[in-house]
C-alpha cells in the first residue's frame, strides 16, 4: 500500500473510535448502517464521518449506507492492525504490568515479545508467561529480535539514556508514558506520547466548568447597564 499524503492527524485519531464502534455493531449482528445512524451512536455528525472516510476512498453506497463488516475490515487495514509489529516494554512497575496484562496487543497490530526492568527483584519473574529481563540485556535482545517499537513506562529521568540506547539499536517507534519528548532529539522517530496527568487535568477543568453556578456565569458575561446604575445613584 502506497504511503498516504496529506491526511490530517485529527482524522487518523478518529479512526480507532470508528473501528471500535463498528466492531461492537458487528458483534451485535448489525450488517449495515448509514452515516446518520452511526453519527447518532457516536455523538458525531454524519458529514464528519463521510468526510473522514472519503479521505480513504469512501466505502459507502448511496441509498444503502455502509456494510458494517466491510467498513470495519477496511478501517482495520488502514490502521494496519493486520500486522504484528514486534514490541518490547521497558519498566514493569504498576503501570507497565497493567499494560502488559490487560491490553490485547495482537488485536491492535502488535506482538509483545519482551519485558525489561532494572529492579533485580523483578528480573527472572514471569508476567503472563513472559520472563522479565534485565535492561542490561537490551542490546543482545534487540540485535536478535529486532523490535520495531518500545513501550516506555519508566521515570522521565531514565528516558534520555534509554531512548539513546534503543535508537542506536534500531528502534524507531515509541509508546511513551514518560514526560520526555523523544521526537525533539530524534525527529525521524514515530512517537505517541501518553500524558495521563494532562487527561486528568482536562477532566478536572470540565467538571469544574459544569459546577460553575449559572448566576456566576451570567454575572461574568452580562453587559453593564450604566444608565441603570446612574439612576440608582440619583435616587
Q: How large a percentage of the chain has pLDDT more than 90?
A: 76
* Residue 61 and residue 16 in one domain: yes
Question: In the block, which residue shows the cell 509483545?
Answer: 112
Biggest distance spanned by C-alpha atoms of the chain: 90
At 189, which CATH number? 3.40.50.720
Residue 210 included in any domain: no
- Provide the mean pLDDT of the chain: 89
Answer whether residue 1 is part of any domain: no
Task: Answer yes or no: do 34 and 75 share one domain.
Answer: yes
**Residue numbers of the domain that contains 184:** 85-196
pLDDT tens, residue by residue, 123-172: 999 998 899 999 999 999 999 999 999 999 999 999 999 999 999 999 99
CATH number of the domain that residue 33 is part of? 1.10.10.10
Same domain, 13 and 56: yes
pLDDT tens, residue by residue, 195-235: 989 999 999 999 998 887 865 555 555 555 555 454 444 54
Residue 39 lies in a domain: yes
| Domain assignment present for 222 | no
Q: Is residue 227 part of a domain?
A: no
Rounded CA gap, 209 and 76, in Å?
37
Verify that 51 and 121 share a domain, yes or no.
no
Return the pLDDT at 235.
46
Average pLDDT, stretch 74-100?
95
- Is the whole model's pTM more than 0.85, yes or no? no
In whole angstroms, give the CA distance from residue 137 to residue 160: 18
| Rounded average pLDDT over 108-128 | 95
Residue 56 phi, psi (nearest 5): -120, 10
Amino acid at each position: 500500500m502506497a504511503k498516504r499524503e496529506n491526511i490530517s492527524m485529527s482524522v487518523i485519531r478518529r479512526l480507532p473510535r470508528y473501528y471500535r464502534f463498528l466492531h461492537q455493531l458487528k458483534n451485535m449482528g448489525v450488517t449495515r448502517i448509514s452515516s446518520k445512524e452511526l453519527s447518532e451512536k457516536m455523538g458525531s455528525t454524519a458529514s464528519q464521518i463521510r468526510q473522514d472516510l472519503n479521505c480513504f476512498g469512501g466505502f459507502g453506497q448511496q441509498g444503502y449506507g455502509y456494510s458494517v463488516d466491510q467498513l470495519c475490515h477496511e478501517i482495520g487495514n488502514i490502521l494496519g492492525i493486520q500486522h504484528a509489529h514486534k514490541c518490547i516494554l521497558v519498566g514493569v512497575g504498576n503501570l507497565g504490568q497493567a499494560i502488559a496484562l490487560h491490553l490485547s496487543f495482537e488485536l491492535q497490530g502488535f506482538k509483545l515479545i519482551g519485558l525489561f526492568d532494572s529492579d533485580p527483584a523483578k528480573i527472572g519473574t514471569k508476567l503472563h508467561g513472559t520472563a522479565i529481563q534485565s535492561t542490561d540485556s537490551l542490546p543482545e535482545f534487540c540485535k536478535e529480535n529486532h523490535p520495531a517499537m518500545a513501550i516506555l513506562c519508566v521515570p522521565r529521568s531514565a528516558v534520555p539514556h534509554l531512548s539513546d540506547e534503543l535508537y542506536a539499536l534500531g528502534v524507531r517507534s515509541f509508546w511513551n508514558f514518560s514526560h520526555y519528548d523523544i521526537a525533539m532529539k530524534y525527529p525521524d522517530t514515530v512517537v505517541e506520547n501518553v500524558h495521563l496527568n494532562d487527561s486528568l487535568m482536562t477532566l478536572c477543568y470540565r467538571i469544574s466548568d459544569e459546577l460553575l453556578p449559572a448566576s456566576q456565569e451570567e454575572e461574568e458575561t452580562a453587559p453593564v447597564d450604566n444608565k441603570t446604575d446612574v439612576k440608582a445613584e440619583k435616587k
